[in-house]
């Protein structure tokens, strides 16, 4: 009987449930395009009305709460960032000076929101504070002192984590004692105290999830590692979730962060339309689903299966039964390559090129076979951190497969990539081919053209200058010149690699080269 029920749901997947356009309220954790503009654009292609707060109040929690309370009564669902509503955004959550009392008072606002809007589908995403493995002077994403002491803080917490989860050898014990002696006490106190406040607020939100005040809650572990302070805190959270009886059907702690807006917006659509998408996942040859990517502490196969749950879907083993098939481009040995992220960019040897080309050939054959079987295919390109695999993309282009996909992702960490490709791929079934092609074009321009080629080429050019790294991190007075160069290279790349002319313009909304914004001109 249960099987028949699920098959019936799959048969009516993405049939419009209501005649009127439903409204989804969306509060992102910052204004980066991948966090705000891009996921909103995907859902808007389905005919939903997306309400978003003005950008200028995203960092002001009290004004955000006022906006949220004013718009919740006219909305059917709300996908909101707890980091924005508690701290003023993802990055402010890492360096704020907000008191415990203020934070817990803001948490209580969710209770009031539910009382005033009992029928609102309320989905929340937040984060455990990340633990970067090194600090970069001038990095706006961490407290100022992390630029000098970040690497030591990471190593210190890695050893603390190992001591608690296994055992330190004699050398490691000496290292731990050295870090304890040399790291300034006031810096450690500030760093740990902020994390403890944030963890307390997260536990209270889990209490609200258990009570039904929040329909679904995701806690992201951004820039994580198998041994780190983030991992330590996650163990505490998992124990607390088990203690209060909250399972994955209500909340998750998951390795990632920037993909959650896309996944929860997908869940809002599946819940509002009362559908259950079936998803099949397949990996490239070799280690495949057992890959532990950089910036994660778990197997990518486990991460993606959890992302399917977050999106409101169900994993199925048989691709023929699936509404969407996600193919994941992994390295045969389970490695993550970061040559796009290095400064200056790493040049591949002939041996490395041969290795990547052979891997891409195998994977593109898997994609081609699935498309020839008329399966709805998407690609999560995670072999490289923050940028597409050029060898794969060239192979897909040569086979004329690029615009036969349902979705594509190749931006940033592995789970960022898989989550965006998954959410877009699930929703693409209801879209017109024109809408799907537009979303694919944006991903190809951002993940392939910019992240894997234009950005790295300009980084190589900047590396020849004495202050090149500083400019790369913050464009400053050079922004207009660099943006013009970016647009020139992007247009050349698009003309060479895509079958139709694309009319677009690129900008750098955060005045750095790590991400870009691409706007199409009609």
Q: With bands split at pLDDT 50, 70 and 90, how would you rate the model's confidence at 17?
A: very low
Cis bond upstream, residue 344 (ω within 30): yes
The predicted-structure confidence for 405-451, as pLDDT tens digits, reads as follows: 999 999 889 999 999 999 999 999 999 999 999 999 999 999 999 99
Q: Looking at the predicted structure, is the pLDDT value of residue 11 above 60?
A: no
Amino acid 9: pLDDT: 38
pLDDT of 120 over the 70 cut = yes
- Tokens representing 498 are 């895509």
| Residue 5 pLDDT level (bands cut at 50, 70, 90) | very low
pLDDT given at position 2: 39
Question: Is 231 in contact with 224 (CB distance < 8 Å)?
Answer: yes
pLDDT, residue 15, reads: 38
Cα separation, 106 vs 92, whole angstroms = 15
Kindly tell me the sign of the dihedral angle through the C-alpha atoms of 507, 509, 515, 521: negative
Going through 303-445 in order, the beta strands assigned E by DSSP cover 314-315, 324-329, 377-381, 407-409
Statement: residue 223 has pLDDT above 80: no
How confident is the model over 321-358, as pLDDT tens digits?
999 999 999 999 999 998 888 888 888 999 999 999 99
Contact 35, 89 (CB under 8 A): no
Question: Which residues on neighbouring strands pair with residue 27, listed in sequence order?
Answer: 80
- Spatial CB neighbours of 63, under 8 Å, sequence gap ≥ 6: 57
Q: Domain ranges for the chain, please list them.
A: 23-132+197-272, 278-459
pLDDT at position 154: 96
Query: Would you give the distance in Å from CA 493 to the centre of its chain?
Result: 26
| pLDDT over 50 at 10, yes or no | no
What 8-state DSSP symbol labels residue 447?
I
> For the segment 260-294, what is each residue's pLDDT rounded down to a tens digit?
999 999 999 999 999 999 999 999 999 999 999 98
pLDDT for res 18: 39
Query: Which of the four CATH numbers 3.40.50, 3.10.450, 1.10.3470, 1.10.10 does domain 23-132+197-272 have?
Result: 3.40.50
Contact by Cβ (8 Å): 80, 26: yes
């Amino acid at each position: 009987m249960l099987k028949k029920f699920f098959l019936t749901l799959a048969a009516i997947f993405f049939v419009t449930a209501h005649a009127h356009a439903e409204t989804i309220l969306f509060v992102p954790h910052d204004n980066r395009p991948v966090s705000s503009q891009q996921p909103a654009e995907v859902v808007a292609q389905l005919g939903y009305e997306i309400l978003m707060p003005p950008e200028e109040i995203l960092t002001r929690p009290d004004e955000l709460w006022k906006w949220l309370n004013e718009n919740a009564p006219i909305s059917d669902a709300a996908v909101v960032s707890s980091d924005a509503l508690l701290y003023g955004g993802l990055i402010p959550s890492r360096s704020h000076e907000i008191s415990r009392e203020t934070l817990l008072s803001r948490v209580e606002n969710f209770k009031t929101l539910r009382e005033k809007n009992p029928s609102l589908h309320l989905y929340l995403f937040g984060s455990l504070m990340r633990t970067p493995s090194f600090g970069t002077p001038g990095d706006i994403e961490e407290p100022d002192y992390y630029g000098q002491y970040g690497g030591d803080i990471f190593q210190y917490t890695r050893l603390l984590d190992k001591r608690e989860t296994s055992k330190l050898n004699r050398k490691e014990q000496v290292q731990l004692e050295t870090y304890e002696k040399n790291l300034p006490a006031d810096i450690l106190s500030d760093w740990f105290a902020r994390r403890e406040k944030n963890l307390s607020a997260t536990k209270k939100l889990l209490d609200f999830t258990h009570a039904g005040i929040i329909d679904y809650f995701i806690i992201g572990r951004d820039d994580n590692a198998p041994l780190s302070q983030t991992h330590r805190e996650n163990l505490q959270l998992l124990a607390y979730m088990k203690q209060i009886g909250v399972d994955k059907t209500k909340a998750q702690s998951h390795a990632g962060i920037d993909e959650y807006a896309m996944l929860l917006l997908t869940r809002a659509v599946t819940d509002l339309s009362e559908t259950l998408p079936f998803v099949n996942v397949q990996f490239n040859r070799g280690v495949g689903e057992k890959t532990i990517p950089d910036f994660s502490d778990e197997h990518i196969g486990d991460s993606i299966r959890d992302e399917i749950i977050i999106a409101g879907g169900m994993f199925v083993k048989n691709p023929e039964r699936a509404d969407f098939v996600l193919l994941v481009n992994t390295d045969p040995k389970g490695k993550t390559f970061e040559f796009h992220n290095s400064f200056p960019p790493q040049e591949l040897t002939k041996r490395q090129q041969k290795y990547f080309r052979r891997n891409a050939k195998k994977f593109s054959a898997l994609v081609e076979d699935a498309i020839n079987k008329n399966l709805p295919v998407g690609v999560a390109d995670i072999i490289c951190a923050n940028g597409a695999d050029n060898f794969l993309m060239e192979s897909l282009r040569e086979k004329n497969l690029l615009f036969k996909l349902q979705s594509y992702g190749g931006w940033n960490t592995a789970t960022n990539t898989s989550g965006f490709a998954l959410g877009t791929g699930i929703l693409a079934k209801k879209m017109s081919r024109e809408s799907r092609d537009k979303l694919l074009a944006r991903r190809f321009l951002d993940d392939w053209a910019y992240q894997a080629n234009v950005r790295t080429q300009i980084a190589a050019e900047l590396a020849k200058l004495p202050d090149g790294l500083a400019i790369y991190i913050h464009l400053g007075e050079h922004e207009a010149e660099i943006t013009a160069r970016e647009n020139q290279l992007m247009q050349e790349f698009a003309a060479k690699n895509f079958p139709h002319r694309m009319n677009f313009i690129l900008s750098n909304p955060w005045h750095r080269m790590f991400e870009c914004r691409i706007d199409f001109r009609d």
